[in-house]
Amino acid sequence: MRIFWQQKQWIRFGLFLILFFLLPYNLQAANLHTLSDRVSRHAPAIPSDHVFTFTTPSGLTGAGDYIRISFDGGFDLSAIIYSDVTLTHGSVTGQEISETVVADPTAVNWGLSRSGNHIDLIRSTGDIAPNDIVIISIGAAHKIVNPLALGSKIISLALYDIADNLIDSGRLAVPIADDQVGVNGAPLGTLPTPVILNFPYNVLTNSLDLDWSENLDFNFHRYVLYMGTSPGVTDLNGTFLPIPGIPGVIPDQANPTDPTLRTQTIFNIDGLAPARTYYFVVYVYNDQGNNAISNEVYATTNNSGNPWPPPPAQPTINQRLCPIFLPTVTIDGTKPGSTTIFINGDSENINYPTDLTWNKPVSLGLGANLFLIFARDSYGQNSPFLTATVNRCEVGDANCNAVIDDFDLAGLAGHWETNWCYADFNEDGIVDDFDLSGLAAHWDSVY
Ligand SMILES: [Ca+2]
Ligand SMILES: [Ca+2]
């Protein structure tokens, strides 16, 4: 036992000799904390707004320093100009400073440069202090077009100094989800004839009637209704209204030969809020899976009942200031009162310390872990979606750059026996032998 202890001391002494005489003392770059990107549309080939939020441990204070946002292949940035981008930052949410973004940086403005698949925001004035929260929104008159291909796409954010040395960086995953059939390219087969939707009638406090022209296509398959509370309803942003199936009375959606599927074109819609304007569209599908959308109609329900609240506001996820190394972690955030949180479509195992806060223990894989979060109120109304990415780093990877090397060892040694969370891999509040052995065990690994 004593021999083992002596060997360990010699190993540690040897490491320190290497560290203090040969290697840089401090880490070269830090990890951006809990990143999020609020994406207005996830469908392929659709223009979408992006709102990035992150915390930078190092800040950005030099003239010519810049923030680079790099999009995965397939995103089309070509329409974006400086007036489509806003930049705010500050230490406290709600009290951020707004910077003016122009084409070229001036003494008082930030500049915007776009090339290929990245956008650079170039600093001239306006320090971003260490640990500032930074919010960048892209998409005003012009928007970034989503890739054609489905799947998880990576967006990288990095802060550089004027000499292109990396300051802080982080990565996000954004899902491109195929929830609209036939949106890309020429669909196979024929397109259905869209129906004409008439304006709602029998409009009451909580209900109305809706009807439309019958579709006479030989390969008609079904109608699908969508409702929204703002104009521009589609099958992506609308609420799906299921048509109940009672065979022989109203269409039996489970039975494609039910003749009333085609002829039943009048529906009563209830469960609506008083004094609110609703918008409707109807899709027609044919048996080849192609669809066509109707015109949009709307109506405002009567103002004679108990008013409903507006749909809930978007929940938030709290920024985490230390990297995450352990596979299980509790994520937490805030929410509107009297709402239930859904994370990746699931409301199970979510804790509510107060009516305005939530948390959930989650299992993280190495790298980017994607969470889609929304709040639902007691009326069944959903908030806008929050897309958040939580990054888990390999034990030993103090600067979270997916490789464990000299930089991580230097950082660990430079903070020996302190509570430096970037090298406290077992999260026990001190950088010591346990963390060093964890780093050694993963030495040179790339993940
Ligand atoms: Ca590393
Ligand atoms: Ca430790």
Q: What is the CATH number of the domain that holds 160?
A: 2.60.40.740
196 or 5, greater pLDDT: 196
Give residue 365 CA to ligand 2 midpoint distance, Å: 21
- Write down the pLDDT at residue 6: 55
Give residue 435 CA to ligand 1 midpoint distance, Å: 14
| Spatial separation of the C-alpha atoms in residues 288 and 262, rounded to whole Å | 16
Of 258-267, 311-320, 419-428, 435-444, minimum mean pLDDT range: 258-267
Domain co-membership, 59 together with 168: yes
Give residue 125 CA to ligand 2 midpoint distance, Å: 39
| Spatial separation of the C-alpha atoms in residues 402 and 406, rounded to whole Å | 13
pLDDT digits (tens, 9 = 90+) for 77-102: 999 999 999 999 998 766 778 888 98
Domain co-membership, 165 together with 269: no
Residue 52 in domain = yes
Q: What percent of the chain has pLDDT over 70?
A: 85
Q: What is the DSSP string of 132-169?
A: EEEEEEE-SSS-EEPPSS-EEEEEEEEEE-TT--EEEE
CATH, residue 246? 2.60.40.10
Q: Is the pLDDT of residue 240 over 70?
A: yes
Average pLDDT over residues 182-201: 72
- Write down the pLDDT at residue 396: 93
Residue 276 in domain = yes
Minimum-distance ligand to the CA of 166?
1
Q: What is the DSSP letter of 424?
A: -
The residue range of the domain holding 378 is 328-392
Q: Which residues contact 203 (CB under 8 A, 6 or more apart)?
A: 299, 300, 301, 302
The domain boundary residue, chosen from 300, 319, 347: 300
Report the mean per-residue pLDDT for the chain. 83
Confidence of residue 248 (pLDDT cuts 50, 70, 90): very low
Domain co-membership, 39 together with 134: yes
Give residue 428 CA to ligand 2 midpoint distance, Å: 5
- Write down the pLDDT at residue 28: 55
**What's the start-to-end Cα distance of the chain, in Å?**
35
Residues with C-beta atoms within 5 A of ion ligand 1 = 397, 399, 401, 408
Domain co-membership, 290 together with 334: no
Residue 379 in domain = yes
Domain co-membership, 37 together with 171: yes
Residue 43 in domain = yes
Domain co-membership, 41 together with 170: yes
The domain boundary residue, chosen from 345, 370, 392: 392
Give residue 318 CA to ligand 1 midpoint distance, Å: 25
- Indicate yes or no: pTM above 0.75: no
Domain co-membership, 44 together with 170: yes
Residue 18 in domain = no
CATH, residue 382? 2.60.40
Domain co-membership, 332 together with 282: no
Structural domains of the chain, count: 3
Domain co-membership, 107 together with 245: no
Domain co-membership, 274 together with 386: no
pLDDT digits (tens, 9 = 90+) for 366-385: 888 888 888 988 887 778 87
Domain co-membership, 34 together with 151: yes
Give residue 393 CA to ligand 1 midpoint distance, Å: 9
Give residue 436 CA to ligand 2 midpoint distance, Å: 9
Residue 221 in domain = yes
What is each CA distance from 207 to 204, 239, 299, in whole angstroms? 5, 16, 10
